[in-house]
Structure 1
Amino acid sequence: MPAPSPAPQAPSRGAAPLLPLAPSEPVRFDAAVLARFCRREGANAETAIGDLLVQIEERLVLAAWQGGQGEWEGLGRSAGALERMGARIGMTTLVRAAAAVRDCLHGNDPVALPACAARLARLGEGGRLEHWRLERGEAPE
């Protein structure tokens, strides 16, 4: 793993350095949750996961639009739906990102909300869901 690049220095004297943002992150799954889902679904598991991922991808597109338009109530509903859908299959990255958006909305944090909404939107960019990674354990059987 390459060493992180040094943070650029703030222009004013005595100010803290600016930190670069991570433009992307892997979509991670909790293997145990995913395995339980697969056991419950049985022979239909592959189809059920595929259907759920399509719904997640569609909701991510909607959430990105809602965030860009300032549709905060709709974004809150989308984040809640994404959190629930992600939790069903152990999609930990999605659950955390959606929860952060909801926390910002419920905590009335207008400073953190744009960053959290952008993180959530990035998860749906450019087919990111195609790059699954299990968070721990082996792939479910």
Structure 2
Amino acid sequence: MEIQKSLIKINQNFSNKEEAIKYCGSLLVDGGYVKPNYISAMIERDRELSVYMGNFIAIPHGTDESKKEVLKTGVAIVQVPRGVNFGTVENPKIATMLFGIAGIKEEHLELIQKISIFCADVDNVVKLADAQTIEEIAKYFEN
């Protein structure tokens, strides 16, 4: 999984999950990974099935129909120290790390799998959430 440091952002804050998803999408758009329409597909995807994965992570990504909007595979990694709620007031699902992904063909499944395996260990998520620099986050995904 190739990580672009330009797609890593630390110490971000969002008032709601839609704002957080749009931010992840805008990083992918600005980096030339997806067309602008991909952002609305990311929001639609979360409405269909939550992109919250547990262990304080969310993986915003587009719908199957939005694959045509993907120009190249990329991952935006966004640290949200205060967290953003992907659940409800009654049933909060707080994410402190966001992985906005876009993948060519089946590469998005590979990205989700690699992120999920790494983040299955909550200690790894804590390390990412506590990281003080972009380089510190990037090194966890080098290999």
TM-score normalised by the chain length of structure 2: 0.29
More RCO (CA 8 Å, sep 6+): 1
Structure that is richer in strand per residue: 2
Q: TM-score, normalised by structure 1?
A: 0.29
Report the structure, 1 or 2, having the larger helix content.
1
